[in-house]
Structure 1
Amino acid sequence: IRPDKSGRGGIAGIALEPGFLFSQEILQIAIPEMLAQTGTSGRQLAHLLIRAHQEHHRNHFPDIERAAEEVGGKQLPIHVDDMLAIIRKTGVKIKWFSRAPKEVKDEAGVKSLGTVRSFFDPPGTLYLNETLKKQTGRLKYDLALHIGHFTLHNKDGLKSVLLAGRSQSNNSSGRQTGSDLDAQDILNAWRDFECSFFAGALLCPKVPFRQLLDRNSYEVSVHKQLDVSPSVVMRRMTAVSPYPHWHYFDAYAPGTLKAVYRGNGIPLPWGNMRQVEDPCQHWSVFRMLADSQRGASAQISVLDTRDGPRIYCCESVPDRDMADNPHVLCAGIDLNPALDAAGSPAREIAQELKDACAQGGGDSAVPANVRRAILSAGRILNIAWVERGLANPARLICSRGSMCPRIPTCYPAVESADTLTVMERMQQEIKGDGKRGRRGLAR
């Protein structure tokens, strides 16, 4: 049974059948129990729910867009002085503080550097880290996010905190959450998302920003023209582009995804609640994390899905956060819909590219006719890094090493420990023994 997604974005999901087991009353009991037994925090569940909502709607939230446009007047670029003037109108006072990064542990227990970037202390004081004075792109984002809180939530008394580091959570509630599910945690996480989306819309208003991207063929480097961070530009690409089939990752070594968006339904290269033991090392984000000296890079990849092979192209950019932790930003698209729209048989083209990569041990120069089709689709989309990706070998990728399609595989074959598989094998042996017994009786 497959769910009816009605053309929406995100992964395919599952059908919630039988329906009586997925009623609100049953889920209210089962979800807290599942969180407690798996060690998943209420905050992690909140992020998962919000991401599914964001992907389902393909990053389109017109009400938040309109609120940001009313505040900023669709100004592009918007300057620090303009944003400070907006804050002064709200009656909020700004105080600066100095705080160097310190070693902290993230949700998975991985150590890295972290610090407080900024926070709003009700009823009317906004604290900003002195480091932001030297990084105006990040300063503008923090100001925009807090303006979003003032605009959308009317400075409602909730302490809003923005952190630097690999942690997924800005922890607006000011407390760490365990596996207990608190509705306030869900609300706080949703408000964090609203403020973050508002900040992107204020810094990069939809219509003028789309026009800028069109003029510059969706180059990430436009962030320099606007004096914003590359992450703001890459995330806004997924929201303003008329082509809906995007994904975006913000990845930290050894395998943490701080931010994820998959409007095109691409599998995750690794989990963002726990580290996986067999990640595919051929994803662009993995390769760039392993080679910190590389600059921005475009990659064409082919990945097998249950609906057949799909071709993806992404642009990956190395960066450092405000606490000086290295990380990789990646924005990409699913090319199959673009190929079909351009009159090329996407599934056949993807299969040909997959076969070429398989014959090349996993990597291959893009065959000439596949190259022509992808180049044509990329030019119709007006995305320059699609053509740059064609200059590099295409790579065969997978969602997990246990599903590696390369020959030889990247990970040694491991016999499945899944109980059902073992039981099924036992049933087959029993049936085989029964057949041999019947043949013996017949003789």
Structure 2
Amino acid sequence: MKSNKSLMRKAHFLGTKIRNLRKRNRLTMEDLSARCIKIDPESAPSVSYLSMIERGKRVPSEEVLSLIASIFQKDIKWFLDDVPEEDAITPNKGSKGGINGMALEPNFLFSNDILQIAIPEMLSQTGTSGRQFAHLLIRAHQEHNQNHFPDLERAAEEVGLKRLPLSLEDIIAITKNMGLKIKWFHKTPQSALDGVGIDTQSVVTSFFEPPNQININQLMKNQPHRLKYDLAVHIGHCVLHDKNGLRNVLVAGRNEISPLQDPTVQSQSSNVDPHDILHAWRDFECSFFAGALLCPKVPFRQLLDRNGYEIGSGQIAGVSESVAMRRMTAVSPYPHWHYFDAYAPGKLKAVYRGNGIPLPWGNMRLVQDPCQHWAVFRMINAPLEGTSSQISILNVGDEPRIYSCESIKVQDFAGNNHVLCAGIDLNPAINAQGNDALSLANDLKQACVKNGGSSSIPKAIKSDLMSIAKILNINWVERGIDNEARLICSRGAVCPRTPSCYEPCTV
């Protein structure tokens, strides 16, 4: 290297590589700075300078880079763009949820100014509204934290005192103690509908009217579980946001359809309005608060443990299947969960992927080649009652993973059928018992391939999976093991079945 200017032109991934190397070696920035000082006190970077290097705000001198390279036993050229090495530049999520993503480098292309220009253009070209994008940001935040929000849990526990179950009378008493009034309505006022973006398959169940009135659809009198949830959401709105006057409109049904899903729906603005972000965040906070109020973490976890994580545990807690299944993902000591709320055709209304499972369908647009072998979608098209358990094998990247899930078909308040699905990634549990999850998953995958896409689980694999099911104490994992395992894919273009379910996708 002849100059720092020459280095700058080759250092777009340098900061990410240093950060990932440091974290893989379990070094803090203080540790790395100290190691550098030990070798060369004069050239050693400070902690603040290291931070700027890792964030792409500074390009180190040749001396500093040589120092860091010697600590990690790397050739100095390894840190430059010519040797990208994807493992070195892809952020490692560690114990966090969500899917590993691309490194946001070079830094100057991912600056706030550039993103503020590019994002509205991207949304406009894809037909994504600002409101949808806001909810996507919130979901990514939720998945990154694997549904761990202790401040919201504590706020709910202070109100509900960790009682389980809370009766409708208990919830009404809490609303009255907070100075809130309940008023029933027959027809939704137009003022509550304006700007909500709902379709004809949706119904407004309740809305908050400042300063202290909760308006509730009279049809909710026959839906005590839903009524409790709505009241809990409005209580959360008041506790967390101090009745600040924002309209808090709750809607049941398949609402917020994208223009790409239904051409009769007028396109919403692609501008990312600050209020879209604020409303999405408050929607999430109030919803999470409501679940924590109705199913406090420790008592609900104990209830699930006693009942083997059966969906019917929600009835004991006095909540709907949806609330029970979403709370499973938050209170379980096992963190690798996913949850889908699916409507036909091709609509995921709610999504949570703390285990990084790829999306089979979208919640913003229809896909051309959806895999129909996912349990959640098989149940949509089947006249089944009760629940359905399934063991699935899915390639994530180039690695096969084993998933187990439980699905149930329900009807929403607006009368629409939809399917709820809660599932877990079994690979981490298999590895935790000292077994090779990838080898086991590949063996199960090959058994399914030989049988056209599904297969009874071989005896040896079944024994290993049964042990995992008992350790996790989840009954539906055991039931799924007794059924055939199924190959699934994220898109038909990568269908692992022979023959393939779809022709190669050209879209």
Structure with the greater alpha carbon radius of gyration:
2
Aligned-partner Cα distance in 1 for 2:492–2:270 = 30
Q: CA deviation at 1:90?
A: 2.0
Equivalent position SS for 2:383: coil
Q: Any gaps of 5 or more consecutive residues in structure 2?
A: 1-85, 189-194, 258-265
Alignment of 1:378-393 (within 5 A): 378-393=469-484
Given the alignment of the two structures, is residue 96 of structure 1 paired with residue 184 of structure 2, yes or no? yes
Given the alignment of the two structures, is residue 270 of structure 1 paired with residue 358 of structure 2, yes or no? no
Aligned-partner Cα distance in 1 for 2:199–2:492 = 25
Given the alignment of the two structures, is residue 410 of structure 1 paired with residue 498 of structure 2, yes or no? no
Equivalent position SS for 1:300: strand
CA contact (8 A) 1:99 1:116 kept: no
Of residues 289, 301, 325, the one that matches 1:210 is 301
> Paired residue for 1:200?
291
Aligned-partner Cα distance in 2 for 1:369–1:256 = 38
- TM-score normalized by structure 2? 0.77
Aligned-partner Cα distance in 1 for 2:317–2:102 = 41
Write the deviation string for residues 233-272 of structure 1: whole angstroms up to 9, x where unpaired: 0000000000000000000001100100000000011111
> Paired residue for 1:27?
115
Equivalent position SS for 1:75: coil
> Paired residue for 1:225?
316
Of residues 297, 312, 317, the one that matches 2:403 is 312
CA contact (8 A) 1:99 1:115 kept: no
Equivalent position SS for 2:372: coil
Given the alignment of the two structures, is residue 75 of structure 1 paired with residue 166 of structure 2, yes or no? no
Q: CA deviation at 1:181?
A: 1.5
Aligned-partner Cα distance in 2 for 1:412–1:179 = 34
Letter in 1 for 2:229: Y
> Paired residue for 1:302?
393
Q: Tell me: higher relative CO, structure 1 or 2? Use CA pairs within 8 A at least 6 residues apart.
A: 1
CA contact (8 A) 1:313 1:389 kept: yes
Task: Go from structure 1 to structure 2 and tell me whether the alpha carbon gap of 1:185 and 1:247 turns closer, same or farther (over 3 Å shift).
Answer: same
Letter in 1 for 2:235: I
Aligned-partner Cα distance in 2 for 1:133–1:227 = 15
Aligned-partner Cα distance in 2 for 1:144–1:164 = 15
Instruction: Name whichever of 2-11 and 223-232 sits farther off.
Output: 2-11
Of residues 447, 456, 459, the one that matches 1:356 is 447
Aligned-partner Cα distance in 2 for 1:140–1:148 = 12
Aligned-partner Cα distance in 2 for 1:6–1:349 = 22
> Paired residue for 2:48?
none
Letter in 2 for 1:62: P
Q: CA deviation at 1:124?
A: 1.7
Letter in 2 for 1:237: M
Write the deviation string for residues 145-199 of structure 1: whole angstroms up to 9, x where unpaired: 0000000000000010001111259xxxxx9941122011110010000000000
CA contact (8 A) 2:134 2:272 kept: no
Given the alignment of the two structures, is residue 122 of structure 1 paired with residue 214 of structure 2, yes or no? no
> Paired residue for 1:421?
none
Aligned-partner Cα distance in 1 for 2:318–2:434 = 39
Given the alignment of the two structures, is residue 343 of structure 1 paired with residue 430 of structure 2, yes or no? no
CA contact (8 A) 1:288 1:294 kept: no
Task: Go from structure 1 to structure 2 and tell me whether the alpha carbon gap of 1:168 and 1:264 turns closer, same or farther (over 3 Å shift).
Answer: farther
Aligned-partner Cα distance in 2 for 1:89–1:151 = 12
Given the alignment of the two structures, is residue 160 of structure 1 paired with residue 248 of structure 2, yes or no? yes
Residue-pair matches, total: 404
> Paired residue for 1:432?
none
Q: CA deviation at 1:351?
A: 0.4
> Paired residue for 1:185?
276
Aligned-partner Cα distance in 2 for 1:201–1:307 = 37
Aligned-partner Cα distance in 1 for 2:500–2:198 = 29
Equivalent position SS for 1:237: helix
CA contact (8 A) 1:397 1:404 kept: yes
> Paired residue for 1:431?
none
Aligned-partner Cα distance in 2 for 1:177–1:141 = 29
Equivalent position SS for 1:236: helix
Q: CA deviation at 1:413?
A: 2.8
Q: CA deviation at 1:112?
A: 5.5
CA contact (8 A) 2:308 2:475 kept: yes
Q: CA deviation at 1:97?
A: 1.5
Of residues 309, 314, 328, the one that matches 2:419 is 328
What is the RMSD computed on CA atoms of the aligned residues?
1.8
Instruction: Name whichever of 255-264 and 302-311 sits farther off.
Output: 302-311
Q: CA deviation at 1:307?
A: 4.5
Q: CA deviation at 1:343?
A: 2.0
Given the alignment of the two structures, is residue 57 of structure 1 paired with residue 145 of structure 2, yes or no? yes
Equivalent position SS for 1:16: coil
Of residues 287, 312, 328, the one that matches 2:378 is 287
- TM-score normalized by structure 1? 0.88
> Paired residue for 1:399?
490
Aligned-partner Cα distance in 2 for 1:47–1:203 = 23
**Same amino acid, percent of matched pairs:** 63
Write the deviation string for residues 73-108 of structure 1: whole angstroms up to 9, x where unpaired: 0000011111111111222211111249xxxxxx9x
CA contact (8 A) 1:292 1:318 kept: no
Letter in 2 for 1:115: V
Equivalent position SS for 1:49: helix
> Paired residue for 1:8?
96
Aligned-partner Cα distance in 2 for 1:348–1:248 = 26
Aligned-partner Cα distance in 2 for 1:271–1:139 = 29
Aligned-partner Cα distance in 1 for 2:472–2:413 = 33
Letter in 2 for 1:199: A
Write the deviation string for residues 348-377 of structure 1: whole angstroms up to 9, x where unpaired: 110010000000000100011110111100
> Paired residue for 2:234?
146
Task: Go from structure 1 to structure 2 and tell me whether the alpha carbon gap of 1:206 and 1:73 turns closer, same or farther (over 3 Å shift).
Answer: same
